[in-house]
Each structure stands twice: as structure tokens, then as C-alpha cells.
Structure 1
């Protein structure tokens, strides 16, 4: 087993905590190098994210490295970095395949499961601006994460090669976590996704959190997981989003650590990244419990107005959520805590809240209560706002 892992992504904190609880030290480079990430391991905020990542990789001591959210949009960069130090995760070739919606549509057709009707922006046989009255179409960027820059079609984009058009379908948005080894794949767990402005997100399709499902229903989605695994040679931990409807509808594949993975390890008290390393190193993978017991949830809190994080604000967060407790760093009630002095613009993420319980409704209530408690801290009279 390797003893020191480098991490690169928009937010590495949860993945770093998963490694540390398994006895692996970490060096992380991400957008923010948040306060709590720095308590877990070595952390650096890249000045030119992600383009300065190769230099960071060369200069940092590590046995191997992994990537997380957002990096799947840069397969050429990942290929370059994998040529310098060992990558434990899906290759650039795999990324190019699984992030292609047209290849996923072909896979769904060949294996008999559902995928939304998908078109290029300027398909001569298709006009998304003047569809049938019953049709609704989404404009999606090829390079995106968390539902950012996704919207209903109203006008065609100025740079059409960066987008595609997909039929909007009805159903409950869900996410599945999968662990793939040399000869088999396991579905680790499923979550109901919290999406859009009803949950405080800055856009109607932006990811705002998730609630794990218990007991999960794996049977309906196993054909999807197995088809993706066998077609694209998935490795280690990865996930896919789908709609729960009369039949599951595959939406996209996330070929790396995802935001919902901490929910499944919280209920198992077992760091999932340990299993990811074992799978990527072609070692025997420790058997996971079939189901996590109980329910865990998360909410990403977006700023309701521009604010400046102060030392006092961070201290009050610690008083309320005890995030400096060593155990809390690995299974926190609050995570991704911004550093004092950070200016957060309206609509940008502030932090992540977590809650555990015996049912989905109880967990949702606990998350709402924690958000109310957090709001009283960050929007307290006299707290800093704006860019001053």
C-alpha cells in the first residue's frame, strides 16, 4: 500500500479525510485549500487552477496521485500528469469516453436501458428553439460539474461546439457510487440528489446536496453500472447520476471521487478511499458491508449575499459545530470551511453541512436546523460583508 497520496481537484477535503482515516498521509492542491483541509494534511491553493497542477505534482513528495471533481474536464492535462507520476484512477482515455454523451446514448441503446434523447446544437434534423409544445430541452456544456452552466434552451449559444442539447425527462434525481476492480464491480450506495434553487443553489440545475437512501434498491441500476464498467474499463471509485422513474434513466458518469461518497462511508465507519487504492493497485479489495446502516445527508451552503469570512466567524463556527475535534475532521457536521479573510460572492459556495440519522426526513430536518444555525453566524449583525 502506498503511504502518501497527492490529491488534485476543486475540493479535496472529503477525499483527503477518507485517506487519512485509513492511515495514508496526503498532499492536496485545490481551488481553496480550505481551513479544515489544512488540518488534515498538506494543502496548497493553486494560483492558476488547474494549469499549475503539473508543476505542483513535480515539486511535491508523493507515491501516487488521484483527482476529484472538475478535473475530468481536462483529460489532456491528466494524461500529461500521469506521465510524470503514477495515477490511481481512471485514465485520460477513459475520461474522454465516459464524458461523451453520444457514446453513453449508444451504450444505453445497446444494453436496453434509458438515456435522454441527445443532439448536437446544430443538428440539421432538429430545432430545439421551436420544439413540439410538450417538449422541453436542456442546454448542457460538454465540460461542467455539479450542474453549473446548464439551462433550459431559449437561444442557441455563441460557441455551439461547447454544448449539446438533451431532452428533459421527469423523475427523481439520484446518484450511485460504484467500486470497480479487475474482475467485478460493486454498487456501494445510492443517494437522492438535492438540486436547484429550492435548496439554495444559484441555479435551477445546480447541485446543492444529497441524502443517502436506506435500504437502497440496487437491482434496477445494476445493468447500468455493469454496462459502464465493462464498456469503458472503469477503475476504483466512480459514480453515475440517473433519474428514478418507471425505469432508471442514466444522465452522466462521474469517473472519480464524488461529493456523495462521504455519505456512504459515514454510515459504515470505513474510509472508501482505502478500497479505491486497493482496486487501482490491483490488490485484493477488503470486502465492504453490503449496505450502510442508517441515513446520512449533506447540503452545500451558497452565499445569500457577498460576505467576508472573519476570524470571529470561524471561531463561532467551531463553537457551534466543533470542527476542530480530531474525530470531527473525519466525520464532520461542517466541512470545507473557508479561511479567514476569504471573500465569498453571492451564489458561491460557503461550506458543506452534514447530518446522520435513522430516516431521510429526520436527516433533512437536521440539515435545515444546521443551516439556520450557520446563517445566524455568517449573517450576524456586524459580520463582515462585501469586499472590504
Structure 2
């Protein structure tokens, strides 16, 4: 997200949990020692004219309200967040308008079957989702939802208060098969042509209903399962991990369009579909280790980690700082690839992930 802004010449300040190396090479980046609460003091001292959020900060609407009083928010308000992140609200909206949503309850009256999941209210990226067992009990911090078999996908949307545009679609890569430590954890995505999506008319209707009812603005995502009919899963009311895939194909700054949508209420730029495919894969650690100078040297020798490369189409991203302790199953970095079609991109991603693991195995041995 920071790179997307820097590409159009905007000076950017970043505060997050990590302040990764590549972020520091393009922007003033600060790791928050007490995430997310220290974001308030950071923004108070910042020279930024406006601010926006991504990732897990959406789980803290009260904090977002406080931050919005310090600087103008380019994004969705706490009130909008509380709507779109509420599974019961989405369930009722789906029922009212005739689209599909998984059976959901906060407090089951009887034991549920094996096809049910227990999900946290505050989470991101599939973290802390578990399969239901009889030992699970109702709790205010979680809810129960029936699992829907099918292909997990996402849409990227840009909207103003009166209009919207679907920018692209991606097939999500989730779980152990792709190296993640848990069954439902996000591990990557590959973009697919919108024209190839079965049920696209129904997906567009879902987006229209959600947009009209919630007044979502700027960039946001909609996760869904592609089954006999599309089934809505959740709304991500901000820049998502799949956004760089569309930006790589459009070769333009999506955050420029986000700013225009939030500030000027206009859908700017050429937002038409493109040819080709892009993919992302998160590389998860197969063992615990400390990221060292040697690790960084190995990666730098294999891939261009210059500022120009980071602001172009980087192959490697989210690079840890030297001295970072990375536990087994935790993410090391992200890998990108571009190609003519999905199969070509998936093959490139698999090769590059294997190469990253080889680099770390070699450096750890040395």
C-alpha cells in the first residue's frame, strides 16, 4: 500500500508491527511497540495530512474513531466497519436480498456437526479459525459458521458513496497445502479473469447490495466461495493482500484511485481489465531461526532489493529486519510472479518458494 502511494510521488509514513526492510527503503517506517494502541501517539506526532489503515486494525473500530479525530481518514469509518465485520448483519442482508451466506450463529442451541467452524470476531488472514468440536462453548469473542465446500476466492472493489467498480478476482491459496501452519491461514492468491468467473452477475449483485447498504468507500475486498452459486464469506473494508496483483497488471497506482474515491468521490484512472495473470505466495518458516545479515545477503544476491525495484514489480517483499526472530510456521517473506496464465504463474511461484527455502537452508547450514 505504501509503495502504491510512493509510485505517484506521495511522501508516506508507515507504522505497523514490523517496519520491514523493503518498507523502510521507500518510506519512513516505524514499528509500533504496543500494536495497535501506540498508533494514536504515532499519528499525533506525525506530519501526515491524512491517514488510512489496512490489515488487522479493522478489528479496533474505537481506536479508528480516535485516530480519525486527529487526521482525516481516507477509508471506511468505524460505523461502516461494525456493519461489514458483523457476520449476523451479513447473514440478514443475504437473506433479505436472496444471495448465499453460510449458516451462522453466535450461540448454538444444540451440538453442531463436523462441518461447522468456530471463528474469532477479531482476526485477519484466517488466523484462529478452528473446526468445531463438542468442547467448544459459546463466547462473546467468537461465532459459529457452517463450512461451505468449494473454491475460496476474492473480489477487489473500488467505490465512492454513489458508484463502484469491480477491479479483479483472485483464487485464494489457503492452508497446509501451501505451507501455512494452520488449515485456514491465508498463504497467497492468483488473479483470474473476471470474464471466466461463473456466477459473475450474482457476484456483481452482491457487491451492489453491500455497497448500497453500508456506504463502503475506497478500495475493499469481498471473499466468497465458488460453489453451485457464489457464497459470500466476508468483507475486508480496506486494501487487501490481493491488491498488488491487480496493480501489477494495470501498471498504475490503485492507491491513487483510492485517494480520489475517498477524498473527491470519483472513480479515477483506467480501471479496465488487463491481460495476463499475477500471483502471490507467502513463504512460511519450516523451522525457527533468527533472520541474520547472511540471510539478507543471500536474498540480495538473488533478487534486486533496490528502491527502484520495490517501486516497480518486486519478486520479493515483506523482508524481515536483521535480528528478527521467526518461529516455525510464521511468515518469512512474500513472493510474486507474473505470467500469461494461472498455470504459468503457479509454476513460477512454486519454483521461487522452493528457491527461497533453499537459500535459508543453505545459509543456516553455513
Per the TM superposition, whether the score is higher than 0.5 is: yes
CA distance in 2, matches of 1:184, 1:104: 20
1:359 corresponds to 2:338: no
What stretches of structure 1 move > 6 A for 4+ residues in a row? none
1:319 deviation in Å?
1.5
1:147 to 126, 129, 150: 126
SS in 1 for 2:353: helix
1:284 matches 2:270: no
109, 113, 127: which one pairs with 2:111? 127
Report if aligned partners of 1:18, 1:330 keep a CA contact under 8 Å in 2.
no
Partners of 2:139 and 2:170 in 1: CA distance:
33
Q: Are the structure 2 counterparts of residues 358 and 204 from structure 1 closer, same or farther at C-alpha, using a change threshold of 3 Å?
A: same
Question: What value does the CA root-mean-square deviation take over the aligned residues?
Answer: 1.4
Pair 219,288 (structure 1): closer, same or farther in 2 beyond 3 Å: farther
- Gapped runs of 5+ residues in structure 1? 1-14
TM-score, normalized by length of structure 2? Answer: 0.96
What is the match of residue 355 of structure 2? Answer: 373
Alignment of 1:21 with 2:7, yes or no, is yes
Matches within 5 A, 1:1-388: 15-120=1-106, 122-124=107-109, 126-128=110-112, 131=113, 136-157=115-136, 160-216=139-195, 217=197, 218-324=200-306, 326-380=308-362, 382-383=364-365
CA deviation after TM superposition for structure 1 residue 148, in Å: 0.3
Q: Deviations over 1:4-47 (max 9, x none)?
A: xxxxxxxxxxx000111122111000010000000010000000
Q: 3-state DSSP class of the match of 1:326? A: helix
Cα displacement string for residues 101-128 of structure 1 (whole angstroms, at most 9, x for unaligned residues): 00000111111110000011x333x322
Deviation at 1:284, TM superposition (A): 3.4
**SS in structure 1 of the partner of residue 55 of structure 2:** coil
Cα distance in structure 2, aligned partners of 1:225 and 1:272: 19
Change beyond 3 A, Cα 1:325–1:46: closer
Q: CA deviation at 1:298?
A: 0.2
Consecutive unaligned residues of structure 2, counting only runs of 5 or more, are: none
Contact kept, 8 Å, 1:299 with 1:354, in 2: the verdict is yes
